[in-house]
Structure 1
C-alpha cells in the first residue's frame, strides 16, 4: 500500500510540475484535432520522403508550400493534413473516424507513433500499402528553414492545387472549416524548376499560357500582371556559408531584379502587350525559392505559380492570402 501511495504522489507531483505552456499547447491542439488525432496511444504524422529533393532537382512537381508557426511544424503538419483531407476527399467525414484502418492516408510515408515496438512482420502490410498508394499521394519534403512545410505530388500527377486552395478559402468562409491555429498560408505550387534563367522563363511562360487559356479567367487589354519573389533561407546562407557576391555568382537569379526581369520576359512571351500593375493585377506570378535539404551546394529549386488576384494580397507586398485575415489575428 505504501508503495502504491508513493506512485500516486509521484504522478500528482509530475502533473503539478508540468509547465503551463506545455499544458496550454496540448489543450489547444486537442481543440483543433479530430478524434482520431486525440487518441492517446496513436498519433499519425507523415514522415519525410528523402528521395523528394533529388526528384525536385530533375522534375517539375506540383504541391503545397505551407507557412506556419516556428517550432510548431508537427502541429501544423497534422492541421494541414486535416484541412486538405476535408477539401480533397469527398467523404471528408471519414477523417473523424477513430478507426485507423478506415482513415485515408494523404501522405505516402505516414507513420504511427505508439508505445509498442513493431517487428518486421507487422511492417510488411504497411509497406505494401504504401507502395500501392504512392502514385496518388503527397510526399512531405524536408526543408532547411523553420516555419515551412512542403508537400509535393508525384511527377505525373495533374492535381489542380490552385483550385484546392480556392476551395479551402470557400470552406472557411462557409464555416465548414474552422480557422487554423498553426498554419498561416497555403501556397499552391503549380510547378517547380531549377532557378536558372532558361528554366524559370520557360516555366512562367507555360503557366501563363495555361492561365490565359482558362476560360474562367477574364483578362482586359492590356493584361495587368505583378510578380512576387520569396528567397527564404538565402540570407542565412549568405551570412554563414559565403559572401553574397559568391552566392550571386553561383545563381544570378537570387538577385531580385534579375529574377523579375526573367519573369517579365516569360509573361511577355505569351502576352506581349502586358503591363505591370502592382495594385490590381489580373494575374500574379509567384516565385518561391525552396530551401531544400540534401541537395548539392549551388543548386537551387523554385516553386512557381500564376494566380488570380482573388488568391493574393498586394499589401504590404504581393503574397498568397493568409488563411486567417490579419485583422482577426490581431484580435
Structure 2
C-alpha cells in the first residue's frame, strides 16, 4: 500500500512538473487566456457599423489594462442588460424593426423550454447577417448557440479600435436595447454605494452610429431628440435647455486623405464649432423653443468619434446619444458620469 501511495505521489508530481514546463513555454497571451476568459474581436463589426446604425457601449478604461477592463465591464453588463432587451433603441431604420430576429420558444409538456432551431437558422440565412456571440479564447460559439444564451451580454461584439484606453461593444443591428436606461441604472447603483470598478472609468451608451457628415448626423440627432421629447414631454421646460458635447479621441491615429481633408465637406465636421452648429440646428428643427444651456441642460447630445480598426481610409464613424441630466456631468466639461469617484487620479482617457 505504501509503495502504491508513493507511486501515485510521484506520478502526480511528474504531472505537475510537466504542467509547469508547458506553461513556461506558452506565449504571454496564452498564459493570460488560461486564467481569464476573454471575448475575441469581431472583425466583421466595423464593416457592418459602416453600413448600418448600431447601438452598444463605449467604455473608457486605464491604458494597458484593456483586458482586465473587458472582463470587468462584461461582468457589470451581464447584470443589467437583460431587463432592457427588445426596447426601441434608435428607431432609425423601419426595415430593421420589421426584420427583428425570429426567435420562437415553446414549452413542452414536461415544462422545458426549447428553441425552434430550424426557424432561427432560416432567419439567419434569409437575412444574410452575421450573428456573433461572446467568444472565449480558443472557443467558438455558433450563431445558434449564441441565440440560446440566457445572458444579454453574450450578444455583444467586441470591436477592435485603433486607440488604447477604449473598449467598444455593439449589439447586432437588429437587437433593440435601451442602452441609456442600462447605463443610468449602472451609475445609480454605484452612486448608491456599490463597490466601484477598478479599471473601467465611464460607460457611454450608444443609441445610434452614423457617418460623420451633415445629412446623416442631422437625421440621427433629429430622430433621437424626437424620441426623447415624446417620452418626457410633460417634464420638459420652456424653452427647452440643451447642450452638445463632441469627443474626438482617436483622431490622431486615424488616417485621413491629406488632399481632401481641407476641401471636402465630408471632413468639415471635424471642426468642433461646425459640428456643434449642425447638432444645434437639428435640435431646433425638432424643438423650436430651445436654447443652449451648458450648466444645467435638460437633454445633452453627445457625439463620440469611433476610432474603428479596419475601416476604409477616410471613413469616419461617430456614435450619438441624447441623454438626460442624471447620467451626465457638466463640470469641468460635458461628459458621461464616472463610475468611480477617483477617475481623475487614474491614467487613461476621461
Give the TM-score of the pair, scaled to structure 1.
Answer: 0.73
| Superposition RMSD in Å | 3.3
Residue 273 of structure 1: how far off its partner (Å)? 1.6
Residue 109 of structure 1: how far off its partner (Å)? 3.5
Question: Which of 27, 39, 49 is residue 42 of structure 2 equivalent to?
Answer: 49
**Does 2:136 correspond to 1:111?**
yes
| 1:138 aligned partner | 156
**Does 2:218 correspond to 1:201?**
yes
Residue 304 of structure 1: how far off its partner (Å)? 0.2
* Kept in 1: contact 2:239–2:290 (CA 8 A): yes
| 1:280 aligned partner | 296
Q: Any residues of structure 2 matched to 1:94-173 within 5 Å, and which?
A: 108-112=133-137, 128-130=144-146, 137-173=155-191
SS class of match (1:200): helix
| 2:72 aligned partner | 79
Give the TM-score of the pair, scaled to structure 2.
Answer: 0.70
Question: Which of 29, 53, 62 is residue 60 of structure 1 equivalent to?
Answer: 53
SS class of match (1:228): strand
1:144-181, CA deviations, whole angstroms, 9 ceiling, x for partnerless residues?
11110011111122210000001101222334x42000
| 1:222 aligned partner | 239
Partners of 2:297 and 2:82 in 1: how far apart? 32
* Kept in 1: contact 2:329–2:335 (CA 8 A): yes
1:264-287, CA deviations, whole angstroms, 9 ceiling, x for partnerless residues?
111011001210111111110000
- Structure with higher Rg: it is 2
| 2:252 aligned partner | 235
Partners of 2:288 and 2:144 in 1: how far apart? 51
Structure number with higher relative contact order (C-alpha < 8 Å, ≥ 6 residues apart): 2
Q: 1:157 to 1:237 in 2, by over 3 A?
A: closer
* Kept in 2: contact 1:63–1:189 (CA 8 A): yes
Q: 1:146 to 1:41 in 2, by over 3 A?
A: closer
Partners of 1:40 and 1:227 in 2: how far apart? 40
1:224-257, CA deviations, whole angstroms, 9 ceiling, x for partnerless residues?
110000011113447xx66597367351111111
1:14-37, CA deviations, whole angstroms, 9 ceiling, x for partnerless residues?
xxxxxxxxxxxxxxxxxxxxxxxx
Q: Any residues of structure 2 matched to 1:271-310 within 5 Å, and which?
A: 271-310=287-326
**Number of aligned positions between the proteins:** 273
Partners of 1:216 and 1:168 in 2: how far apart? 25
Partners of 2:226 and 2:284 in 1: how far apart? 11
* Kept in 2: contact 1:211–1:217 (CA 8 A): no
Partners of 1:86 and 1:247 in 2: how far apart? 46
Partners of 2:302 and 2:143 in 1: how far apart? 37
Q: 1:108 to 1:56 in 2, by over 3 A?
A: same
| 1:186 aligned partner | 203
Partners of 2:294 and 2:33 in 1: how far apart? 49
Partners of 2:234 and 2:155 in 1: how far apart? 29
Q: 1:160 to 1:327 in 2, by over 3 A?
A: closer
Q: 1:258 to 1:213 in 2, by over 3 A?
A: same
Q: 1:169 to 1:254 in 2, by over 3 A?
A: same
Using the TM superposition, name which of 312-321 and 72-81 deviates more.
312-321
Q: 1:82 to 1:275 in 2, by over 3 A?
A: same
Which consecutive unaligned segments of at least 5 residues does structure 1 have?
Answer: 12-38, 91-106
Partners of 2:259 and 2:271 in 1: how far apart? 10
